[in-house]
Each structure stands twice: as structure tokens, then as C-alpha cells.
Structure 1
Amino acid sequence: MSEPHDHAPIGLDLSAPAEPSVVEAVQNELALLWEQRPDLDPGVTLRFEMGLVEILGNIVEHAFDPDTPGRLLTVAVTIEGDVVRGTLSDNGQPVAVDLSTVTMPDEDAESGRGLALAVAALDELSYTRDGDCNRWILRCGGAGS
């Protein structure tokens, strides 16, 4: 594991329509980011990416009515030391979720695993509604990861 002060902070910022293609675009950007920090614990990058992609997929699928124009999403990710942080923001509908009560659904359930996987994968996950904006904060790595 790297020392927290070995590297200057790096990151990515992406704004795009909240459409299914954004998931692959974000994964491509993350791959480039991981290449810049090959010393970063692969478990941290894997868990972070899994959590981020699950939340991102939920935003694309559930945050908007299908015909809503102007579906916008921003993704910001930073790596500082051995900590990866992300913020996902969208202008979709408010989310009614209490992350402290999220559990994995029964094996027969056809949906509902994404948020539970994200909670399990990430060291920190929070959601807030700020005006007309949903904001998800993610963290992986650092002390206690």
C-alpha cells in the first residue's frame, strides 16, 4: 500500500446526459485514472468502481421519468494518497432511501441488489438531496478499509 503523501491528488470530472452509455464512459475514464496510480490497492479500485457503477446504474435507470428532457449527471472522482472519493450528482427525482437499512434481497428477487452491493463494497456511502440535486458521496480506502 502506498504512503498517503507519495502522490499529488488526481481525479476526473465528467458531465453527461444520464443515459445508459454514460456507465461505459465512466468506466473508461476510471481505467485511465487507475493507470495513473498502479500502486493503488487493486481491492480498493475494484470495490470503488463496483460501488460507483451500481449507484450510476440506479441513477440512469430510476432517477428520471423515461421522457424527462435534460437528464444531467456529473461524476467527480479524486484519488489522494490511498483514498478514492467520488461524488455523483443528478437532477433527477428525489430518492427515498435510508442507507442504514439497505440489505441484500432474497435470491429469488429480480432487482434490488445494486444498492446493497454498493453499500457492501464501499467504506462510505451517503445520499443527500440539495435543492433539485441528488448527491451521492462515495469513499474507498484509507484507514479502516
Structure 2
Amino acid sequence: MPEPLRRTVRLTTPPGDVNTVHDFLAELWPDTEGVSELDRISIETALIELAANVMQHADSDGSGLACEFTIVVAEEAIEITVRDTGEPGDIHLAGAEMPELDAESGRGLALISALVDHVAYAQEDGHNVWRLRRARTRRA
């Protein structure tokens, strides 16, 4: 069994933004072996959505925040941990559902939950900490 691949990127907003996370993922994928396109797209979409939500909602006063994104690609699963120094959120993960079609927001947690097998949020040591996990699909 090969060793899991672990990568981390740290950024401060501004100037860092979701493009930094896109670049981080683009540099990661060539070093992974056998990650299905479905897993890659699901992880990318979930992480970009989470990053955008953190940068938009955890920085309530616009002064910026520090974020750390860690991804571990193992044989059985892909796990992501996101830590940020933003304001603690009033997060309700249970029952996250898509809003009405004409709603302008509110899709983030429902979309993330649909793309990964596990989503958790906690406040730890003065940080918001998100954990996502997606079991890897097996190729036929």
C-alpha cells in the first residue's frame, strides 16, 4: 500500500483567494495516481465551495483572515482539513438542503454534503476547522 500523499497550502486574504486554492489543486493532481475523474471533480467542487464560503462568511469585518488547506490522498479516501482564523460560525450541518431555485445563496453546505461522504465543523483552539472525507471510487 503506497504512502498517502499529503499537501498543505496556507494563505491570507487578501491577497489570497479561491484562485490560490484552484492552483493548489492543479499542482496536486499530477502527483496522485489513479484518482478517478469523478473523485477529482467532486473534491475540487466541494473544496472550492467551502473555500469561497469561508472567505466570504468568516471574514465578517473585511479585515482578512488566515486559512490553511490540507488534503490527504490515500488509497481508500481523500480527506480535507480547512482551518481559518475567521469569526466562529453558527453552522448547522444536519439537514442541509438546497434552497428554492430563485434563491441567491444557501447552496454551499448542501452541495458540499452531496459531494463528499462526511462533513464536520468544529471550533478548535480559536480556529474554525472543517473536515471533509470522500471514499475513493473504484475503477471497473
TM-score by length of 2: 0.89
Q: Residue 120 of structure 2 contacts residue 131 of structure 2 at CA under 8 Å; is this kept in 1?
A: yes
Q: 1:51 aligns with which of 26, 46, 70?
A: 46
Deviations 1:83-113 (A, max 9, x none): 1111000011111122112110000101111
Q: Which residue of 2 aligns with 1:30?
A: 25
Q: Residue 11 of structure 2 contacts residue 66 of structure 2 at CA under 8 Å; is this kept in 1?
A: yes
Q: 2:12 aligns with which of 9, 17, 27?
A: 17
Q: Residue 39 of structure 2 contacts residue 136 of structure 2 at CA under 8 Å; is this kept in 1?
A: no
Q: Residue 20 of structure 1 contacts residue 57 of structure 1 at CA under 8 Å; is this kept in 2?
A: no
Structure 1 unaligned residues grouped into runs of 5+? none
State the one-letter code of the partner of 2:9.
L
Q: Residue 80 of structure 2 contacts residue 131 of structure 2 at CA under 8 Å; is this kept in 1?
A: yes
Aligned length: 138
Matched, 1:90 2:52: no
Structure 2 unaligned residues grouped into runs of 5+? none
**Distance (Å, rounded) in 2 between the aligned partners of 1:118 and 1:51:** 5
Deviations 1:61-102 (A, max 9, x none): 010124325x11111111111411110000111111221121
Identical pairs, percent: 28
RMSD: 1.9
Structure 1 ranges of 4+ moved more than 4 A? none
Q: 1:74 aligns with which of 57, 65, 68?
A: 68
C-alpha displacement of 1:127? 0.3
Deviations 1:102-127 (A, max 9, x none): 11000010111122111111111110
Q: Residue 40 of structure 1 contacts residue 82 of structure 1 at CA under 8 Å; is this kept in 2?
A: no
